[in-house]
A and B are shown apart, each in its own frame.
Chain A
Amino acid sequence: MIVDEMELLGRVRDVDPLPEEVAEKAETVLRAAIVVSRNTEPLRIEVRHHERWSRRRTLTGVAAAVVIAASAGGALLAAGSGPRRPAPGTRVAIVLTAAEVHHIAASSVLAAASSGTAEVTETSSMNGTPQTNDEIAVTFDGSNIDEKITVNPEPPGSAKTFTTDDRLVDGQFYIYTPGPGDVLEWLHDTNSTNDTASMQFPDPRTLYGAINPSANFEVTGTSTSDGTTLTHLVALDPVAIDMSALGNLVQGALTSFQMTVNQNDVVQQMTFASSSTEHGCTFAIASGKSLANVKAELQKEGVKLKEIAGPGGKKLAVVSTPGNRWADQAAGITSTCGPQMATSQVNVAFSNLGVPESVTAPQGAVDFAGKG
């Protein structure tokens, strides 16, 4: 037979067969995509703020809308060999491949699809001064979610610790909050329709959407916890992370994103931080004689004022143009107007993934017509 160009090409067509682990990883990614897609289309939701949200957030108005691709459905446990890990005692820069990052995201989605828990801590500061310190214990059971929220005062001891509970069961929103007479009771929002937006914290499983190869995850080390080897990863390019997956937990720019994964490539912990520079003025509060003094002083300086009524008597809220700085301790005012550096940090620790949990509607919840 004459060897022609077609025959010649045919001689170099053989390749090594598809390795099982590569096939499995790719299929895991596909299965995860299928699980996520079961919740029809991504939900576009409006974020509403509860009173317990930090003053900073209420004032500055955080992201008005986020997209959450909720995950639900049966668990399809993934098996994986885990990301490459540096040998003990070595310091070798290992940046995960796209396939490895996809596998971490997919394995995590699958592992958490049915149920699990997450412990969330969320702190924020303004110009270095702590503003909020919230702890949220999340339990998820399919698409039902319970969030036990503890709002710690900043500075510690300056106010009572505030606790509440948000719950979403079969699309209905419940909240454990002081009702008439300041007695804690369960309320049921009769206007709620699959009210993910009412929850204080997004379904933590939606955070897996932030795990993207373009962020360039580097292995920074390993550790052992309860006999499980954990790999620590840090995003070299956190700005490449899809912010919509982090919902309203991020303000401004993402400055860091780290995570810890177990041997099955399932995320055990995520920590991310963000910062933003805001222009404006913090609240200045005064009443009675102080109020008159403040108004006179500020008007002299040409500062624009807005007076509002508060529950404890007349209050004054000062709105100033950026750059103005003033303080009047005698009048009981401390305030700084101008650029404000806001930072926040969120830590999410996952546990009990795939372990059956039960989130049910609270008994005796009182109906109320919420914002829906």
Chain B
Amino acid sequence: MASDAELISWSLAGDDMAFVEMIQRHKAAVWAYLVRRAGRSSAEDLLSEVWLAAFDSRSSYDRSYPEARPWLFGIAHNTLRRHWRSQPSEDTVADVADLSANSDPWPAVDERIDGVAVLREALEHLAPNERDVLLLMVWEELSIADAARSLDMPAGSARRCLHQARLALRAAPGMVALLTQLNTVKETK
């Protein structure tokens, strides 16, 4: 199977459908990335913008990287930033709250603790770079090197951002109580 880099090369050489094939490989991942950060409604609008931006900038793709997913996340990240500039700032991580209704990740959490709200609040207070690195690794399952590539930053800086993000998240108001609660519930089961 051809690598993403090869498909992009073929696209640049005139085989336009090679680019569509490359996009198809990553559409689910990019969709999930957009939904997690901007919510489903905005993601529906933004997905085509990501594809167009990727197609327009394909000549700048560094073909020493066989896999294009981090590059696509980078393009999606820039698309989101443009989107957010036109939106109220509080919407930036609204998706975290949206997720609770469907995925119900809190079956063991005491009802008195609104875990999603605490998490959302904590994420909102992270520095943007720190939040981006953290979420690319946890939600998109990228390596630290690929997260750095997505965000166009040195790997060392990404590592530092991750470290800072974890520290800040742990220290965020409500997080200590929430984590304690979760671990207590777990132990008493």
Binds A, one of B42-50, B60-68, B70-78, B146-154: B42-50
Q: Is residue A88 within 8 Å, beta carbon to beta carbon, of the partner chain?
A: no
From 165 to 181 in chain B, residues with beta carbon under 8 angstroms from any chain A beta carbon are 166, 169-170, 175, 178-179
The answer to whether residues A16 and B47 also contact, given A8-B178, A9-B138 and a CB cut-off of 8 A, is no
Chain A residues in 8 Å Cβ range of B51: 26-27, 29-30, 33
Chain A residues in 8 Å Cβ range of B138: 6, 9-10, 13
Number of interface residues of B (CB under 8 A): 49
Contact (Cβ within 8 A) B103 A99:
no
The answer to whether residues A29 and B36 also contact, given A10-B138, A12-B103, A12-B105 and a CB cut-off of 8 A, is no
From 21 to 68 in chain B, residues with beta carbon under 8 angstroms from any chain A beta carbon are 23-24, 27-28, 31-32, 35-36, 40-41, 43-45, 47-52, 55-56
Chain B residues in 8 Å Cβ range of A309: none
Tell me what chain B mostly uses at the interface: helix, strand, loop, or mixed. Answer: helix
Q: Is residue B142 within 8 Å, beta carbon to beta carbon, of the partner chain?
A: no
State in angstroms the CA–CA spacing of A33 and B31 once bound together.
20
In this complex, what residue of A is CB-closest to B56?
Answer: A33
State in angstroms the CA–CA spacing of A17 and B32 once bound together.
7
Q: Is residue B16 within 8 Å, beta carbon to beta carbon, of the partner chain?
A: yes
Contact (Cβ within 8 A) A99 B48:
yes
A212 to chain B, nearest CB (A): 12
Q: Is residue A330 within 8 Å, beta carbon to beta carbon, of the partner chain?
A: no
Q: Is residue A18 within 8 Å, beta carbon to beta carbon, of the partner chain?
A: yes
Q: Is residue B20 within 8 Å, beta carbon to beta carbon, of the partner chain?
A: yes
Q: Is residue B89 within 8 Å, beta carbon to beta carbon, of the partner chain?
A: no
In this complex, what residue of B is CB-closest to A101?
Answer: B45
Which residue of B32, B41, B119 contacts A8 across the interface (Cβ within 8 Å)?
B119
Q: Is residue B94 within 8 Å, beta carbon to beta carbon, of the partner chain?
A: no
Number of interface residues of A (CB under 8 A): 35
The answer to whether residues A25 and B31 also contact, given A6-B166, A8-B182, A30-B55 and a CB cut-off of 8 A, is no
A208 to chain B, nearest CB (A): 15
Contact (Cβ within 8 A) B23 A12:
no
State in angstroms the CA–CA spacing of A5 and B163 once bound together.
12
Q: Is residue A4 within 8 Å, beta carbon to beta carbon, of the partner chain?
A: yes
Chain B residues in 8 Å Cβ range of A30: 19-20, 23, 48, 51-52, 55
State in angstroms the CA–CA spacing of A65 and B45 once bound together.
33
**Extra inter-chain contacts (8) besides given A12-B116, A33-B55, CB under 8 Å:** A9-B134, A12-B105, A14-B102, A15-B32, A18-B31, A37-B55, A97-B44, A98-B49
Q: Which 3 A-B pairs have the closest CB atoms?
A: A11-B105, A26-B48, A29-B48
Q: Which residues does B use to contact A, with CB under 8 Å?
A: 16-17, 19-20, 23-24, 27-28, 31-32, 35-36, 40-41, 43-45, 47-52, 55-56, 95-96, 99-100, 102-103, 105-106, 115-116, 119, 134-135, 138-139, 166, 169-170, 175, 178-179, 182-183, 186
Q: Which residues does A use to contact B, with CB under 8 Å?
A: 1-6, 8-18, 22-23, 25-27, 29-31, 33-34, 37-38, 97-99, 102-103, 106
